[in-house]
Amino acid sequence: MDAANKSVSEFVLLGLSKSWELQLFFFMFSGAPAFLFVFFSVLYVIIVLGNLLIIITVTSDNSLHSPMYFLLGNLSFVDICQASFATPKMIVDFLSEQKTISFNGCIAQIFFIHLFTGGEMVLLVSMAYDRYVAICKPLHYVVIMSQRTCTVLVIVSWAVGLVHTLSQLSFTVTLPFCGPNVVDSFFCDLPRVTKLACLDSYIIEILIVVNSGILSVSTFSLLVGSDIIILVTVWFKSSAAMAKAFSTLAAHITVVILFFGPCIFIYVWPFTTYPVDKLLAIFYTVFTPILNPIIYTLRNRDMKAAMRNIMTYYLRPKKISEIPLAVRSSLY
């Protein structure tokens, strides 16, 4: 990175504690850094352990080696990454006087947030396609959703995320930053960082709108369209099938709205930044990675049974006959 393009070596992150919207959201207690530290630390541990449990369950239980659970395991991995690009630093900053991040660290956060969000958008579309094939084309499901197809879908999701984030960075890394360095957020949010550049950022913001808008709106439209097709398909089958499909899709639509809503609001209209943007950013960086395990896993009987078996196997006391011979001999 050319040092001549910048004189700012670090950025100051204002974080969350100065946001009155978040103070109202956390019932007026979020002004206390210790409360925020404990609250988000617990949430982060739940995110990592919950999604890690899903990954372990999907990979270790043979009955879950199917396209749906393969995609779910990849979604859990993306959720862990999504929650980890900025949340640990935000938690540490609650108890830190100097909430700073280096220039390269700021660029890295921009890179990872767009990589993971772009990848998750396409991965959610892949999961919607899996549901569409399972419900609308059940006789061809095994042929269409082969292991090769699932692998390609996952690779495409990461490729789209990579192209998306590299195109966003191409607008940012060459900007001259020669003075203002205060970012009113808990991470380096692209619209807010762009406004700190020492030039008219109007053209850059248009490019951000086009880039983020095409990805967000197109994937959101595909998700809504697939859900509508599924509902129309089961409408003509039976009331029981309709109720089951509606229950599944209602939970899915909840995740989609909580994830896509803030992304579209923040990145499709970046010309004006609002204080509430920080609250919206919390949804797709912290709350959505928690909701995904709850909605896609705890509502699934097969997944709950597999988790119960794994926890029983690893937590119950071992019988002498089940202990490896080498370990057994060392006990005597």
pLDDT per residue over 242-261, tens digit each?
Answer: 666 666 677 777 778 878 87
Confidence at 22, pLDDT banded by 50, 70, 90: low
> Which region, left, alpha or beta, applies to residue 223 given φ > 0 means left and ψ of -120 to 50 means alpha?
alpha
For residues 316 and 74, the model is more confident at: 74
* DSSP one-letter code for 199: S
State how far the Cα of 245 lies from the Cα of 239, in Å rounded to an integer: 10
Residue whose token pair is 């370990």:
327
pLDDT score, position 321: 54
User: Does 93 have pLDDT greater than 90?
Assistant: no
Q: What is the DSSP string of 242-309?
A: HHHHHHHHHHHHHHHHHHHHHHHHHHSSTTS--TTHHHHHHIIIIIHHHHHHIIIIIT-HHHHHHHHH
Contact 129, 42 (CB under 8 A): no
State how far the Cα of 234 lies from the Cα of 240, in Å rounded to an integer: 9
Confidence at 143, pLDDT banded by 50, 70, 90: very high
pLDDT score, position 163: 95
User: Does 30 have pLDDT greater than 50?
Assistant: no
On the 0-12 / 13-18 / 19+ scale of CB atoms within 10 A, 139 is exposed
For residues 332 and 13, the model is more confident at: 13
State how far the Cα of 252 lies from the Cα of 229, in Å rounded to an integer: 14
Q: 38-53: per-residue pLDDT in tens? A: 888 999 999 999 899 8
Alpha helices in the chain (DSSP H): 20-25, 33-60, 67-84, 87-93, 103-136, 141-144, 147-172, 190-194, 202-235, 239-267, 277-282, 288-293, 301-315, 325-330
State how far the Cα of 296 lies from the Cα of 310, in Å rounded to an integer: 18
Contact 279, 25 (CB under 8 A): yes
For residues 297 and 38, the model is more confident at: 38
pLDDT (mean) for 33-42: 83
For residues 166 and 97, the model is more confident at: 166
Four-point Cα dihedral 200, 203, 209, 212, nearest 10: -100
User: Does 276 have pLDDT greater than 80?
Assistant: no
State how far the Cα of 88 lies from the Cα of 80, in Å rounded to an integer: 12
Q: Biggest alpha carbon distance in the chain?
A: 77
pLDDT score, position 300: 74
pLDDT score, position 327: 45
Residue whose token pair is 């003509």:
236
- The whole-model pTM stands at 0.83
Q: What are phi and psi of 24, to 5 degrees?
A: -70, -40
Confidence at 181, pLDDT banded by 50, 70, 90: confident
